[in-house]
Structure 1
Amino acid sequence: MPKPQTVTRNKKGFFMPEKPSYEELEQRVKELEEKFLEYKKAKGEFRP
C-alpha cells in the first residue's frame, strides 16, 4: 500500500505542509489587526 501523503489540502486547494502553531497564528492575527487599524485611521474612520 502507498504511504498516505503528509501534505494536506485546505478548502481552497492550497498545499499545507504542516499546520502552523497556535502562537504563529496569533502573531499573524495581531499583525493583520494592526494593519487594519492603520487602514481605518488613514481613511479617518477609526473610533476606539
Structure 2
Amino acid sequence: MNFLKINGAHGEGGGQIVRSAITLSCITNQPIHLENIRKNRKNEGLKPQHL
C-alpha cells in the first residue's frame, strides 16, 4: 500500500493538519507519511503534549 505524503508546513503549519491527517488515516486505513510537522511554529516538531 502506498503512503500518502502530508506536508505539515502547509497553511498555518500548526498541529491541526497533523491531527486531521492521523484521524483520516485511521478511518480510511490509508498509511501516511508526515513531514515538516509544525514547521511554521517557533518551536517546531512534536512536543509531549501533542502525543
- Using the size of structure 1 for normalisation, the TM-score is 0.32
Larger radius of gyration: 1
Relative CO higher for 1 or 2, CA cutoff 8 Å, sep ≥ 6?
2
The structure richer in strand per residue is 2
- When the two structures are superposed, what TM-score results if normalisation uses the length of structure 2? 0.31
Answer 1 or 2: which has greater helix percent.
1
